[in-house]
Chain A
Amino acid sequence: MTEAIILEQKSTSASTNRSVSNKRLYIFPTQHGLIFALMLIVMLMGSVNYTNSMAYMLTFLLASLYIVCMLHTYRNLKGMVLKTNNAKPVFAGETAEFPLILINRTTTDRHSVVIHPWPKKRIGKRMQYRGAEYSNIVPGEIHKGTIPVMTQVRGRLRPGRLRIYSTYPLGLFRAWSYMDCSNYCLVYPKPEGSTELPQYSQDPTRDHYGEQIGADDFIGVRQYKPGDSIKNIDWKALAKEQGVLIKRFSGSGARQLLFHWGHTKHLGDNEKRLSQLALWIIIAEQEGLRYSLELPDIKIPIGNGDSHRHQSLRALALAEYGN
């Protein structure tokens, strides 16, 4: 779901207005800019006291540069278009990377723009993010980037308010604007706990259910159907231009696993239980096993593959149980 803003620029076309909202641009001297202004006052007093023409001239030159710098800093962001999107899911503790597009819709080059979540949050001693920086933004070109945000807990992480700012060219002024970003990153629970998979399924008699399709012995090929695991594609056959074929294995040793909320009861803490389930899912995926997930309020039927994995982990990420 893309969201977009344009900075201080009235859009004439209706088609762009629908998705791009116009944002106000703010500008104020930076800390250095305030010191500079103070210095200008001191310089002016010196010039008046000594009635020194060149001192006046220098003071006025710097004062003019100050004003001109303000205009240039403002222009450096004006008309810029910023688009964001949802980030790819990550595990808690990893860094979420929100994709970002910056477009310069003007005819002049823009420089040194920083985009970061606002207000600044810290995790321990580290900032929660490093801002995305753009050094040279050429007119008409699309500049891709990411806002990296460190994650801590599972769930939906929203960067919330983003700030886009620039102090170019002299660092005496900062122009900035905000984007209230409703994009999110799905954060899976951090995989932790025992690497040993649960030895039994809910129904021990059906533990070895997958005779036909398993992972042990090769028994032949069949036509590819959408949804088949990419791991089972017969690549050699594909290379021989025999079409997309799926290798089939006898499943004597293949297990169908059921990851049940109840299996993790001994861990006590809900978050630890979810972490354990996440770890099992990862291991099961790595080993190409089929598994189903049962949580108190949701059941995910047996399956395997990326979308199944995502569906299961998503359920874990969004699970809400009181402790």
Chain B
Amino acid sequence: MLFFRMVVGGIVFSSVFITYGTMVGRDAGVTLLVLLGGMKLLEIKAERDYFISVFIGFLLILTNFFYLQTLPISLYMGVAVLVLIASLVSFNDRGASFNLTGRIKIAAKLYVYAIPLMLIMFLLFPRVSGPLWGLPKDAQSGISGIDDEMIPGSISELILSDEVAFRVEFDGPIPERSKLYWRGPVLWHTDGFKWVPDIPDEPDLTVNYNSQALNYIVTLEPTDKNWLFSLDIPSQAAENSRLTHDLQLRTQRSVTNRTRYDLSSYVDYEMHSNDPEELQDALQLPGRYHPKTIELARSWRSEGLSDREIIERALSHFNQETFYYTLTPPIFINDNIDEFMFESRQGFCEHYAAAFTILMRAAGIPARVVTGYQGGIINPVGQYLIVYQRDAHAWTEVWLGDDGGWVRADPTSAVSPSRVTQGIESALPDTLINVPPGLFNNGFSRDLWENMSNTFDAINNRWNQWVLGYDRNRQRFFLSQLGLGDLRRKELMIGLVVMLAICLAVISYGMFSRTTVNTDKAKTWFENFKRRLSACGIQVYDYEGPQDLAIRAAKQRRDLAKSINEICQTYINVRYKGQLEFLDQLEHQIRLFKPAKNPG
């Protein structure tokens, strides 16, 4: 048996090692736990094995949260814990006096007692920011989002994603959709195919703001990348990040958890760069690529047009020639820009942004590609803006010199204006948008579905913000709402212990105060009854039981016989038959027993 166990154990360990190449880390650890849990079930013999299996179950539920923490999953895991608790009850239910429902009821009762304690611990347990000993490499995986390099197709693949990129709460009205350009990585250099960013540098800018600042809070889903998104141009860097020369928000550590940050931005501004080198970078062209496109731009320049006129010309070129805005452009074989500009004329925003930037640079106008998101959907239930991965976008910024500085030019809006004014949903065929299969794709079911998903997202957002995103900052905010201000860790621990003690005192009072019935209450009342009997002349003897007393007393006072018999019978029931539920009745009957001194 021992040999068998060792063989099975060996197989388990080696198969995990072969699959993952390691024994540590999230995935390998969880796999090992699942296998050990399964094996344990096969060799349950003693009482201890039951307990160990249940404990492994608890650990598995915990590891599940490292993958998914959504509200439905959490509720489901809550039920799983309940079932495990119920199975612990059944191990300790000697003689199996409960059926399944009974055991689950007991587990549920324990749950009800435990939940207030849990909430206190959850709210007050001091949170540390950052991991204790570093996360394993596979802590985050399978995250999609904007990358900081752009190749044809890299953005359009995000369009199919229903995942949320981030949510934004505005302090004030939400600006109109065409102004919602969410700035991400800025791309400068191209090799004719791929666009990559510049080396981040300190900002050397002069910015004139022509509008009021918009204050907002972004809750960014984990990206595993080290930049944040801001609305157009931010006035200052958010916490734990810094601004670069091209106004990206860069973070030191990659964003592996859902992150919340405050920003204020301007959508109307004039931005002048003071760095001539930067402008040189913005004129770089990829060697021998895109000759036709470059030729086109130069022909415009040779017509003697000004910078602004060339921009107009380029945009109207996209607008008036037969360009198509499509998710599924043909595959470009050699020179993707030239083929796009002169052959297929079908492309997605990254094709337009790249081609436009090349056109500008060829005409001698410094230009750069900006990637990020455009638009977002207002959730009317929660009054916040949701930006999905499918809102990913790419546009261009051009340099107009002293006559305006860096200015955004979005060639996509020239081809498909509705993409910018009404969002990606209007620019793409209906079938792409997330009406689930099985629902009729008509206006009514679309509205219904939209309502439902808005409500669901609002709940989800609350959940994300307050439960999953409950970190040191949230905790601080929560405490300040209570008027407690900024507590240090030690004070927080003391507060936690005090609150737990208070809560436990309340629970224990509830549990212990009403549980004990003094059975002598019955006797006390019966003594009282005897005193009343002797007061009206009926002799009471210590040796006489209630039955004999009743017979004798009833003979002596026939007028009281009925109530005497009743009282004695109730007393017998309570004290000798253990029917404690009649205790109140006994008290009531004796209270009402007020005999006159003499019969009649």
Contact = CB atoms under 8 A, between A and B. Distances in A.
Contact of B55 (A39, A50, A54, A60): A39
Contact of B523 (A13, A49, A170): A13
A135 interface: yes
A13 B131 contact: no
B507 A107 contact: no
A13 B77 CA distance: 50
Interface stretch (B116-124, B144-152, B157-165, B266-274): B116-124
B81 A167 contact: no
Given A32-B48, A58-B65, A65 B85 contact: yes
A48 B118 contact: no
Nearest to A60: B121
Contact of A168 (B92, B132, B516): B92
Interface string B493-531: 000000000001001100110111111100110000000
A135 B97 contact: yes
B532 to A, nearest CB: 20
B133 A49 contact: yes
A136 interface: yes
Interface stretch (A69-77, A84-92, A151-159): A69-77
Contacts of A60: 117-118, 121-122, 125
Given A58-B81, A75-B512, A111 B97 contact: yes
A47 to B, nearest CB: 8
B113 interface: yes
Given A13-B524, A53-B467, A169-B110, A133 B94 contact: yes
B96 interface: yes
Given A56-B125, A78-B515, A133-B95, A50 B117 contact: no
How large, as a class, is the contact surface on chain A?
35 or more
A194 B391 CA distance: 104
B35 to A, nearest CB: 18
Given A60-B121, A64-B117, A169-B92, A55 B66 contact: yes
Contacts of A133: 94-95
A52 B122 CA distance: 12
Nearest to A131: B94
Contact of A79 (B51, B515, B523, B579): B515
Interface in A270-311: none
Given A49-B133, A51-B127, A112-B93, A35 B580 contact: no
Interface stretch (B299-307, B445-453, B468-476): B468-476
A50 B131 contact: yes
Contacts of B514: 107
Contacts of B133: 49
B69 A52 contact: yes
B365 to A, nearest CB: 47
Contacts of A72: 110, 511
B469 A53 contact: yes
B578 interface: yes
Interface stretch (A137-145, A205-213, A217-225): A137-145
Nearest to B96: A135
A38 B35 CA distance: 21
Contact of A61 (B51, B114, B469, B518): B114
B523 A15 contact: yes
Given A60-B122, A64-B118, A136-B95, A49 B110 contact: no
Contacts of A52: 65-66, 69
Contacts of A48: 128, 131-132
A134 B94 CA distance: 8
B79 interface: no
Contact of A64 (B88, B92, B115): B115
B578 A32 contact: no
Contacts of B110: 65, 68-69, 72, 169-170
Nearest to B52: A35
Interface string B31-51: 000000000000000011001
22 contacts: A12-B520, A35-B51, A50-B66, A51-B131, A52-B66, A52-B69, A53-B470, A57-B74, A60-B117, A61-B118, A63-B118, A68-B110, A71-B113, A71-B508, A79-B516, A105-B516, A112-B93, A112-B97, A135-B95, A139-B580, A140-B519, A171-B51
Those 9 A-B pairs whose CB atoms lie nearest each other, nearest first = A135-B95, A140-B578, A64-B117, A64-B114, A13-B520, A60-B121, A54-B65, A136-B97, A112-B94
